[in-house]
Amino acid sequence: MNKSTLATPEQDILLASLTEIVESSNQDLIQENANVDGQSPMGQMSKFGSEAAKYYAKQKMLSKEVTQAINENYIHPHDLDYMPTGTTTCCQIPLGKLLKGGFNTGHGYMREPNDILSAMALASIIFQSNQNMQHGGQSYPMFDYDLAPYVQKTYNKHHKRLMSYPLSLTENEIEQLAWKETDRDVYQACEAFIHNCNSMHSRGGAQVPFVSINYGTDVSKEGKLITKNILLATKAGLGNGETPIFPIQVFKVKKGINVQPEEENYDLYELALETTAKRLFPNFSFIDAPFNKQYYDGRPESEVAYMGCRTRVMGNIHGEENSISRGNLSFTSINLVKIGLTTNTFHAFLNKLDVYLELVIKQLLERYQFQQTKQAQHFSFLYGQHVWKGSESLEPDDMLDSVLKQGTLSIGFIGLAEALVALIGQHHGESESAYKQGYEIVQFMRERADQASVRYNLNFSLIATPAEGLSGRFTKHDKKEFGAIPGVTDRSFYTNSFHIPVYYSIKAIEKIRKEGAFHSLCNGGHISYIECDGDVTKNIAAIDTLVKAMAASDFGYGSINHPVDRCTCCGYTGIINNQCPSCDNDSEEKIERIRRITGYLVGDMGKWNSAKRAEGQERVKHQ
């Protein structure tokens, strides 16, 4: 008997997907994640495993009603392929703690470094090691504070050496010279760190680690040197002037520290504006936003820290409320658009949304219950090296139920704008009545997340989904079922979370005002973008105005998008239209166009899936 006649429809789908991977015939499949080279041998092997693991999860691990909701295009568990491994999504890594005590990557012990060059090298290794423990990103929440002691160690070494020379210098002159040499070492360390983040690989060689750093509020001399030099090294670019894709950088904006000219770190804020104008990083987080400020007690540990895409972990039922050594466990997104297409009143919409919210909560709990059964030794770095909060108490064969509760379980959503058009004919950028209903929808989801936290004694949260592959997947299935409905399914992508559609013309300040209100509702993570036109390096004051407007509108996290192009023939970086203004190169293949895909950058837009490419082409500028 022909074996193919025994295959189930699900097996046929899996085999078709594997064939597309072998043939590299489906860009949307092999480049679901633009940070992975899906055509490389390791990228293909990873994708083979991914498709098989998703099949296993659907067949063996998900309840029937959850699988049905996935197949009907109502919900999407993110990173479902990692579900059988029991991994968690992400973690804010306690860099200072790991450097202070030393750590073991599994192949030998790394002792505490004695200078900033070694400390930065080990910071790269920590990122790479932890990337293999989790399916999402890694971040340092206090990059400047954690590395400041090693700047001091470097200064001490230089000062001691200079004092041993028979120099006819005063003590003050020796101190100045020692700090000058320290400054040089810090820059070189930052430069090497950035190069490492863009060249070292993890996960079987398939991708560079997805990493973020938060900084900007340490006012010590040592901390300021870290922030200054990471910005300068970013601004300078990589070896041939390329814009660094990683680490995603988050500059913390805080009144009394870096907002006004008389404040201690205002010079670093100015440098951050100049750097983002040239390199698209850093993004900006706002410590004084009410929902962030409520946790701030003056200690750096209490400052909010974000993952590069948007994830935020602060509230905690089971311990100290900060980001340190914590992360998201998993998140699942709801297709608001299909709910809008299958209901005809606002009341009916909320009722149906409530059904799928309960189903998502059920699915998150099922995944969490499986994660709990894993042992600490299965994640030797994350728990064995005490990266995750509370893991110091675990023995290798201990299960993880006592520590995972420190993380978050997040409900995500996509397509608020298109859902509103389906319901009432307008999205929330077009009218105040639509805006009011959009706000009520997101508020409703947040209330359900809060209620789940109380009911299950776990940290449930609402996240504004960073839709990359999902942006087109939901749309493709809905268009097949409902046809091309203007303003709803007529494009190849749905709008990211609560955002005003990228194709809708709206003034920057108005977009900031409208989207700012949603940040407080999405306590699991949020980000908003403003699209600028022209060469913003010539108008830093405009960037300052936008960042200050974000702060005034209670943003938690925001960034500025603008064109950053590089000619690979001559290295010119700036805005390149049809021809390089420096060498007259007019070959599009030799123009590198850096753009932000979600919270992170991608230098080769050919690695974007078709939906995100379409979205990128439709982004309008905000005046």
pLDDT-above-90 percentage for the chain: 77
The predicted pLDDT at position 204 comes to 65
What does the pLDDT average to over 311-340? 98
Long-range contacts of residues 233-236, Cβ cutoff 8 Å, at least 24 apart:
233/187, 233/190, 233/191, 233/193, 233/194, 234/194, 234/275, 234/279, 234/281, 234/282, 235/271, 235/274, 235/275, 235/278, 235/279, 236/191
The predicted pLDDT at position 23 comes to 62
Is the model's pLDDT at 29 over the cut of 60?
Answer: no
Exposure b/e, 318-354, CB count within 10 A at least 16 = b:
beebbbbbbbbbbbbbbbbbbbbbbbeeeeebbebbe
Please list the alpha-helical segments (H only) found in 135-286.
Answer: 143-164, 171-197, 221-236, 266-279
Distance CA 27, CA 43 (A): 13
- Tokens coding 319: 């311990």
Q: Which of 86, 106, 108, 143 is nearest to 371 (CA)?
A: 86
Distance CA 449, CA 562 (A): 35
3-state secondary structure of 115: coil
Is the model's pLDDT at 164 over the cut of 70?
Answer: yes
Question: Tell me, what amino acid is at 251?
Answer: F
pLDDT class for 185, splitting at 50, 70, 90? very high
User: Using omega within 30 degrees of 0 as the cis cutoff, is the peptide bond preceding 247 cis?
Assistant: yes
Distance CA 92, CA 137 (A): 9
The predicted pLDDT at position 13 comes to 75
Is the model's pLDDT at 1 over the cut of 50?
Answer: no
Q: Are 545 and 337 in contact (CB under 8 A)?
A: no
Is the model's pLDDT at 2 over the cut of 50?
Answer: no
pLDDT tens column, 374-430: 999 999 999 999 999 999 999 999 999 999 999 999 999 999 999 999 999 999 999
Is the model's pLDDT at 598 over the cut of 80?
Answer: no
What does the pLDDT average to over 303-320? 95
- pTM confidence score: 0.93
pLDDT tens column, 523-536: 999 999 999 988 89
Q: Determine the Cα angle at 205 with ends 20 and 573, to 5°.
A: 90
Please list the alpha-helical segments (H only) found in 412-552.
Answer: 416-424, 432-456, 469-482, 508-519, 540-552
Does residue 594 or residue 511 have the better pLDDT? 511
Is the model's pLDDT at 479 over the cut of 90?
Answer: yes
Q: Which of 336, 400, 345 is nearest to 73 (CA)?
A: 336
- Tokens coding 277: 């104008």
Is the model's pLDDT at 126 over the cut of 80?
Answer: yes
Q: Which of 127-131, 138-142, 207-211, 611-615 has the highest mean pLDDT?
A: 138-142
Is the model's pLDDT at 617 over the cut of 70?
Answer: yes
Q: Which of 405, 388, 406, 519 is nearest to 463 (CA)?
A: 519
Exposure b/e, 534-553, CB count within 10 A at least 16 = b:
eebbeeeebbeebbebbbeb
Distance CA 128, CA 205 (A): 11
pLDDT class for 604, splitting at 50, 70, 90? low
- CB within 8 Å of 260: residues ≥ 6 apart: 266
The predicted pLDDT at position 30 comes to 56
pLDDT class for 608, splitting at 50, 70, 90? low
565 - beta bridge partners?
574, 593
Distance CA 600, CA 267 (A): 25
Q: Are 316 and 304 in contact (CB under 8 A)?
A: no
Is the model's pLDDT at 241 over the cut of 80?
Answer: yes
The predicted pLDDT at position 606 comes to 60
3-state secondary structure of 519: helix
pLDDT-above-70 percentage for the chain: 92
pLDDT tens column, 332-344: 999 999 999 999 9
pLDDT class for 474, splitting at 50, 70, 90? very high
pLDDT class for 158, splitting at 50, 70, 90? very high
Q: Determine whether 107 is exposed, middle or buried from the number of CB atoms within 10 Å of its CB (0-12, 13-18, 19+).
A: exposed
Mean residue pLDDT of the chain comes to 92
